[in-house]
Structure 1
Amino acid sequence: MTASVLLSAGATEHRTLTITLFTIFVLITLGITIWAGRQTKDATDFYAGGRSFTGFQNGLAISGDYMSAASFLGIAGAIALFGYDGFLYSIGFLVAWLVALLLVAEPLRNSGRYTMADVLAFRMRQRPVRTAAGISTIVVSIFYLLAQMVGAGSLVALLLGVTGDAPKQWTIVGVGALMVLYVAIGGMKGTTWVQIVKAVLLIAGTLLITILVLAKYHFNPSSLLGAASEASGKGAAFLEPGLKYGLTGTTKLDFLSLAVALVLGTAGLPHILVRFYTVPTAHAARKSVIWAIGIIGAFYLMTLALGFGAAALVGPDAIKASNAAGNTAAPQLAEAVGGGAGSTGGAILLAVISAVAFATILAVVAGLTLASSASFAHDLWANVIRRGKAGEREEVSTAKIAAVVIGAIAILLSLFADKLNAAALVALAFAVAASANLPTLLYSLFWKRFTTTGAVCSIYGGLATSVLLVVFSPVVSGKPTSLVPGSDFAWFPLENPGLVSIPIGFLLGWIGTLLSKETADPAKYAELEVRSLTGLGAH
């Protein structure tokens, strides 16, 4: 049984309708990007959208950037296959925003201009810190891009009713080309408006499916959960902790590692951090995070209906037959509640939800590509290689070229990752971000003695540790769903390295500072403290 079964002979006549609706959504987002690109005049427009967005608009854009393919496709699939344990992703993703709101949002917006490295370099030596921060930003972004590309490949394969690896690979190449186009043409303004539109569409689409699922069970959640547990084949265990993370001591540690990475990772994600620069004031930055928490929280509650609805109405066997990691559960559920394969309603809902999911992927990959290419151009090229002598036009041109290169790297790596769950891939990005970026940011903002040596040790140490542990984990080898399924060189037992790599990132920053011979500048720290807390002297 393959994805083509979902679009059986009776449904073939509806494929044209499905593809048409799908294409319309993509063309609308491209139109927005082109329109916004015409409004982009300088580096501030390209990197920060001219700092012209309101708190509510930025809150919607943050939601659009954050509710990625992992949220919509990966979490729905994880819940459909693992029940209670799958919902743990939603809880971690949501709680993480409290860390971002309380510790990072306002100080970051007040202290930097375009990138995370602006904050770190304020009181430290420019070149080593910007080099480390730029490399870390690009690595984290590529990890996150993998999840979006994998989701896109699974989605379009389901939508077009095709089988085999080649169609998925061409889809990944197409998504990569589109994301480069979005960044090169629209910059931050185009990306932000696409994310706003996409957030509205995603919430509306998810709400529609949630209502239709609950209507099937007379709006009785207990009936839905009972049907899901029965269809899962796991019985009551489907609704209890432990189906995925409670089987052994190792999986329990894996759960703890996942939780730590999810809760701490958001505050270190480059594509989320740069969103705070798009608003004019610190008050707007706080307001945007509060709006984001409300919108994202409502969405994650609805993932319960998506996941358990897919388990009850589609069934785990059909979901795994389409995609082993469960990434197509939400679109399959949309087709089921619309009337099933072969029905006009099923075809329309499948097209709409798939198009919304695809718009989700395009918006997120555009944000990721923009964050990483901006960091390369602004931090590595302009301030390290060109030593501050590059003009704004040269910076923007470099960022566009970097977008092409980073997109190509992400495409190449994504061709080997299609068997992994999108939510699990994003969790890896969270772990890397929390290990390399978060310790340095917090030390820089709140520790007077922190030095350049400490910052470099923290970034490189956290980055190297997390990536090394991922390479030698079951994610890369040792399992049928690994990146290299035929090999087994996994000596690190956990699928998420956060439990080990995050403390190491903090520890190395502390040790590096204590052992370094340099002395922190108290006047610079005092200036940063005043700026971060009050906004005085900010851009």
Structure 2
Amino acid sequence: MKKNLSAFLGTLLALAVAGAAHAAGGDVGEAAKQATNWTAIVMFGIFVCGTLYITKWAAAKTKSAADFYTGGGGITGFQNGLAIAGDYMSAASFLGISAAVMANGYDGLIYSIGFLVGWPVITFLMAERLRNLGKFTFADVAGYRFKQTPIRAFAASGTLVVVAFYLIAQMVGAGQLIKLLFGLEYWMAVVIVGALMMIYVLFGGMTATTWVQIIKAVLLLSGVTFMAIMVMAQYGFSPEALFAKGVEVKTAIAANAGKTPEEAAAAGLSIMGPGGFIKDPISAISFGMALMFGTAGLPHILMRFFTVPDAKEARKSVFWATTWIGYFYVLIFIIGFGAITLVLTNPEMADVAKGIILGGAGTANMAAVLVAKTVGGNVFYGFISAVAFATILAVVAGLTLSGASAVSHDLYATVFKKGKADSASELKVSRITTLALGVLAVTLGIAFEKQNIAFMVSLAFAIAASANFPVLFMSVLWKDCTTKGAVIGGFLGLISSVALTVVSPSVWEATLGNPKGSAWFPYSSPALFSMTIGFVGIWLFSILDRSQDAANERAAYAVQKVRSETGLGASGASGH
């Protein structure tokens, strides 16, 4: 094991250094890449060495399927809370929200609030019940009293679709980030992320993934704290002074673009109020629902509740996760305004800011990293660059693990082997799936290089809110829910959310290149409609199901409720 990891690390760093050297000697006029950031590469190397050592340590502890999926259920609530925060604070949060605030001001907060408000839903409705009913995946909970084959087939489908879209977005984000910061070729960056992710998951399973996420969360929280303090220090720690400067800068930009004084003043003030980003109330509600309820349906987040020993630690996990994530989003808002006031007004960054911040989908999310360069110089810039890459790495590892568990635990062990698979063969299938997912993620990441990735992240949340969340919610909290209702309703939510997104302006026009105004579905997020379809489908087909199986499933609710509320019958991580 040690030799394998050492050889892999040597090859990886050689590839990174060779690519960087090649880039440094390449065409300096190429707009797509900046000068090679050796500080970032060294810090990234240190992070990789440290996490690979943890993977080696975790590999020695990963002996069974329970160890692989849940770290043996021995992770504390505080550790799990940090790991959940590390899993949740993805590149979309760190780079995307700060860029959205820089571009739209107040409106960028809809991401922060939407992402954060999902956590009380998980705290009060899900966390304890999940831990008491589940074993390895959310399908264990959703299918507690249902027929295993259909519910597992649905759960695996929902999980794999969400994971696929999320993975593509993270891989494209990683490729663009490293292309810009490290001077590597795009495909090299994608291959490095894919290879590292496969190593973490293949050898270390949930234990290694958890510690990678904890380390990344600590580094990211430390970095954004320093950035926010340095931004606020420029304005005497007065939020009012920061916002006033932001309005002044946006007004000046609008005036330079040829706007009349009245129009420029209105453009400047617009960053302090809603309306520029979300165009109408239905879009705002639908988008907010996707972010809020999607959180409670993301398989890689739900999976983390099975890594703790009991329901009390599961509640503690959510408390700590909510604390760190809430703190993080407050700071991201400050950093977004810092990008307006410090980066856009810095003469040394005029060309960089113009090329990167205004440079389109692939390069628009660099606002936070440029703030780091402004307030902390090249060393801190290198640190934040490496942390941003570590952020993507940690999220990709968690996603891959949830995808692998859906195939090996839900499909192979439960559907194909009818619950008779032994731990060793399940573990083998999981590792084969990890390799397949890694290759798929790298391939799709390279194929989607030129695509706008924002819709993929929102689609992942919309699918999770429309398919996974309604099935989980109704199966746990509604006694009349049946297998037929859950499966048909879940698939209706899944199919409608994907279909409506494809025919929305963000995909039909922006991505597929159809004429403006030709989109069949006028709103950017389908959640309000597809989530309603999912819930109504579950209710309708459950009510119409008068079979004996349905009667037995309704009768079994009483036992499920006692187990979910009290934990009686749940024995640590061993499941039911």
Question: Contact 1:436–1:505 at 8 Å: present in 2 too?
Answer: yes
Give the root-mean-square deviation of aligned CA atoms: 2.1
Question: Contact 1:3–1:161 at 8 Å: present in 2 too?
Answer: no
In the aligned structure 1, how far is the partner of 2:162 from the partner of 2:123?
Answer: 21
Q: Deviations over 1:252-290 (max 9, x none)?
A: 422221101111111111001110000001000001101
Q: Deviations over 1:449-484 (max 9, x none)?
A: 1111001112211110111112222232312xx2x3
Question: Contact 1:257–1:497 at 8 Å: present in 2 too?
Answer: yes
The aligned counterpart of 2:10 is none
2:298 aligned to which of 245, 266, 269: 269
Runs of at least 5 residues in structure 2 that lack an aligned partner in the other structure: 1-27, 254-266, 345-352
Shift of 1:499: 1.4
Shift of 1:378: 0.3
The aligned counterpart of 1:409 is 440
Runs of at least 5 residues in structure 1 that lack an aligned partner in the other structure: 339-345
Identical-pair percentage: 49
Q: Does 1:337 align with 2:378?
A: no
1:76 aligned to which of 75, 94, 98: 98
Amino acid at match of 1:320: I
The aligned counterpart of 2:128 is 106
Shift of 1:230: 2.8
Q: Does 1:396 align with 2:434?
A: no
Q: Does 1:43 align with 2:54?
A: no
2:418 aligned to which of 387, 392, 417: 387
2:269 aligned to which of 227, 236, 261: 236
Q: Which moved more, 1:208-217 or 1:292-301?
A: 208-217
The aligned counterpart of 2:278 is 245
Q: Deviations over 1:84-133 (max 9, x none)?
A: 11111001111110101111111011001001111122211110111111
In the aligned structure 1, how far is the partner of 2:481 from the partner of 2:395?
Answer: 33
Q: Does 1:526 align with 2:548?
A: no
Question: Contact 2:71–2:205 at 8 Å: present in 1 too?
Answer: yes
Change (3 A) 1:361 1:240: same
In the aligned structure 2, how far is the partner of 1:210 from the partner of 1:460?
Answer: 43
The aligned counterpart of 2:15 is none
| Larger radius of gyration between Structure 1 and Structure 2 | 2
Change (3 A) 1:372 1:530: same
Q: Deviations over 1:477-499 (max 9, x none)?
A: 312xx2x3477773222221111
1:200 aligned to which of 208, 218, 226: 218
Question: Contact 1:265–1:430 at 8 Å: present in 2 too?
Answer: yes
Shift of 1:410: 2.9
Q: Does 1:317 align with 2:350?
A: no
2:400 aligned to which of 365, 369, 386: 369
Shift of 1:414: 3.0
Shift of 1:161: 4.1
Q: Deviations over 1:16-72 (max 9, x none)?
A: 333212222222222222221221111111011110011111111111111111110
Tell me the TM-score normalized by structure 1: 0.91
In the aligned structure 1, how far is the partner of 2:520 from the partner of 2:53?
Answer: 48
The aligned counterpart of 2:47 is 25
Question: Contact 1:322–1:328 at 8 Å: present in 2 too?
Answer: no
2:149 aligned to which of 127, 143, 156: 127
The aligned counterpart of 2:163 is 141
In the aligned structure 1, how far is the partner of 2:38 from the partner of 2:122?
Answer: 44
2:329 aligned to which of 300, 307, 323: 300
Secondary structure at the residue paired with 1:83?
A: helix
In the aligned structure 1, how far is the partner of 2:532 from the partner of 2:150?
Answer: 22
Change (3 A) 1:204 1:3: farther
Question: Contact 2:408–2:427 at 8 Å: present in 1 too?
Answer: yes
The aligned counterpart of 2:209 is 191
2:536 aligned to which of 493, 507, 526: 507
2:77 aligned to which of 39, 49, 55: 55
Amino acid at match of 1:122: Y
1:158 aligned to which of 160, 175, 180: 180
The aligned counterpart of 1:95 is 117
1:225 aligned to which of 224, 243, 248: 243
Q: Which moved more, 1:113-122 or 1:365-374?
A: 113-122
The aligned counterpart of 1:341 is none
Q: Does 1:358 align with 2:389?
A: yes
Change (3 A) 1:237 1:306: same
2:318 aligned to which of 286, 289, 305: 289
Question: Contact 2:143–2:152 at 8 Å: present in 1 too?
Answer: yes
Amino acid at match of 1:388: G
